[in-house]
């Protein structure tokens, strides 16, 4: 917000083809804005043969005042109009000496927005490059996980348990809440049509099947992506900005072993566990609705037993295992890909969450098809 402008300090007078600027008062960052516009206007209107800059009554000038002088001098120079100064104070001259004509070389690098074709090309290239990076990262991750299996003592278990605690134990309340609400909502939504056919008992089938086979693993994974995928990306991203990743690398400690393996291992451990809790609370939500419709818990449980096959539970848990791997993997990858600066960390975090959710849904689609043909 510009501060309130004082009375004008620049007075322009035009006589015999000579434009005279008289500065009366201080020429500082408060007054120069108005003076600048005034000077430009006067030059434009009068088309002088010569210009005089009279600073006899200038009481004070800061960088902005000097900038105005430099601006006038260089502009008139390029128009081949003589420019004279009068009464420049000693320290004004001293500062002016820092900026002889042509002192300001042109910026070395121009930042122009790319053309349409260039940006299409760049986007295509970056999508392909990203696919390649994901593939390479997956390969590296698999190798590192295999190595971790072969040499369990090389794994940093301390870090791993810390991640289990932060991403798993601390996620328990939110996972329980979401699971419970999903079960509750599903049951309520189903209650309306089921009632028309007097088939309320089958709400149990619906809740049981959809929570255990589909929604439990899916919701857990999405919560994990939002809570922990983002945290992984932000943590590794900040380390990358601070050159901590470089420090690890030059110490001969590959970032994959130090940062990625503990996070991925922890996610592999905790996602199925969290999913069990989501399922449990989802079923509880269904139970509540059924109870409010007048069914006993025993009836609900019996119906669940009929509806669910033994294979449903492990197939859901296996899915969640894969989801956990994807979420942790993409979180770490985006973190490692972080560019420069604080904004880059934010971008990585976003990309981790979005990428995680997209991968979860894609994988879920693949699972549905596979399970269908396997008859699970």
Partner 1 sequence: MCEAIIRVDSLTAAYDREVVIDDISFVINPGEVFVVLGGSGCGKSTLFKHLIGLYKPVAGTILIEGDDIARAEGDLRLRILRKIGVAYQSGALFGSMTLLQNIRLAMEEFTDLPDEAMTLLARMKLKLVGLGGFENYLPGEISGGMQKRAAIARAMALDPKILFLDEPSAGLDPVTSADLDALIKRLARTLGVTFVVVTHELPSIFAIADRVIMLDKRVKKIVAAGKPADLRDHSEDPRVRQFFNRESSV
- The span from the CA of 239 to the CA of 217, in Å, is 31
Q: Is 102 in the site for partner 1 (CB under 8 A)?
A: no
Query: Residue 283 has which token pair?
Result: 């079923």
Angle at 374 between CA 370 and CA 375, to 5 degrees: 115
Q: Is 68 in the site for partner 1 (CB under 8 A)?
A: yes
How do 18-27 and 50-61 pair as beta strands? parallel
Element spanning 56, H or E: strand 50-61
CA distances to 28, 175, 232 from 317, rounded to whole Å, are 70, 15, 23
Is the Cβ of residue 293 or residue 344 nearer to partner 1 in the bound state? 344
Secondary structure class of 91 (helix, strand, coil) = helix
Q: Are 313 and 217 in contact (CB under 8 A)?
A: no
Give the binding range for partner 1 (CB under 8 A) out of 2-10, 113-121, 307-315, 350-358: 2-10
Site for partner 1 in 108-147 (CB under 8 A): 108-111
Is the Cβ of residue 90 or residue 375 nearer to partner 1 in the bound state? 90
Report the residue from 11, 26, 52, 64 that binds partner 1 according to the rule CB under 8 A: 64
Q: What is the residue whose two structure tokens read 């986007």?
A: 123
Q: Are 223 and 182 in contact (CB under 8 A)?
A: no
Is the Cβ of residue 6 or residue 13 nearer to partner 1 in the bound state? 6
Site for partner 1 in 331-350 (CB under 8 A): 339-344
Short-list 125, 140, 322, CA closest to 217:
322
Report the residue from 11, 25, 34, 85 that binds partner 1 according to the rule CB under 8 A: 34
Site for partner 1 in 38-57 (CB under 8 A): 40
Is the Cβ of residue 62 or residue 140 nearer to partner 1 in the bound state? 62
Is the Cβ of residue 196 or residue 340 nearer to partner 1 in the bound state? 340
C-beta of 96: minimal distance to partner 1 in Å?
9
Binding residues for partner 1 (CB under 8 A)? 1-3, 5, 28-30, 32-34, 36-37, 40, 62-64, 66-68, 70-71, 91, 94-95, 98-99, 103-111, 339-344
């Amino acid at each position: 917000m510009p501060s309130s402008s004082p009375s004008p300090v620049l007075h322009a007078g035009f006589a015999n083809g000579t434009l005279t600027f008289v500065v009366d008062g201080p020429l500082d960052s408060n007054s120069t804005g108005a003076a600048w516009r005034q000077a430009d206007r006067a030059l434009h209107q009068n088309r002088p043969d010569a210009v005089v800059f009279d600073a006899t009554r200038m009481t004070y000038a800061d960088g902005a005042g000097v900038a105005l002088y430099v601006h006038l001098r260089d502009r008139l120079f390029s128009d081949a109009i003589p420019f004279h100064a009068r009464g420049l104070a000693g320290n004004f001259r001293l500062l002016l000496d820092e900026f002889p004509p042509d002192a300001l070389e042109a910026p070395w690098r121009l930042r122009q927005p790319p053309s349409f074709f260039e940006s299409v090309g760049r986007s295509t290239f970056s999508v392909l490059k990203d696919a390649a990076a994901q593939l390479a990262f997956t390969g590296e991750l698999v190798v590192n996980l295999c190595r971790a299996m072969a040499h369990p003592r090389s794994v940093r278990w301390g870090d791993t348990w810390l991640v289990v605690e932060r991403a798993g134990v601390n996620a328990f309340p939110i996972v329980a809440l979401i699971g419970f609400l999903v079960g509750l909502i599903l049951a309520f939504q189903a209650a309306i049509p089921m009632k028309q056919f007097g088939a309320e008992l089958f709400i149990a089938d619906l809740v049981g099947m959809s929570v255990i086979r589909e929604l439990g693993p899916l919701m857990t994974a999405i919560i994990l992506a939002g809570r922990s995928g983002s945290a992984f990306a932000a943590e590794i991203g900040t380390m990358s900005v601070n050159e901590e990743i470089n420090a690890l690398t030059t110490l001969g400690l590959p970032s994959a072993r130090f940062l990625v393996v503990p996070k991925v291992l922890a996610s592999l451990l905790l996602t199925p566990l969290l999913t069990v809790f989501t399922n449990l609370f989802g079923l509880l939500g269904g139970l509540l609705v059924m109870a409010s419709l007048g069914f006993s818990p025993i009836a609900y449980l019996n119906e669940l037993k009929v509806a669910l096959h033994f294979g449903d539970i492990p197939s859901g848990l296996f899915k969640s295992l894969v989801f956990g791997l994807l979420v942790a993997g993409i979180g770490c990858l985006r973190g490692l890909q972080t560019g420069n600066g604080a904004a880059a960390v934010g971008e990585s975090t976003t990309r981790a969450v979005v990428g995680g959710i997209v991968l979860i849904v894609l994988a879920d689609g693949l699972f549905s098809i596979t399970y269908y043909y396997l008859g699970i």
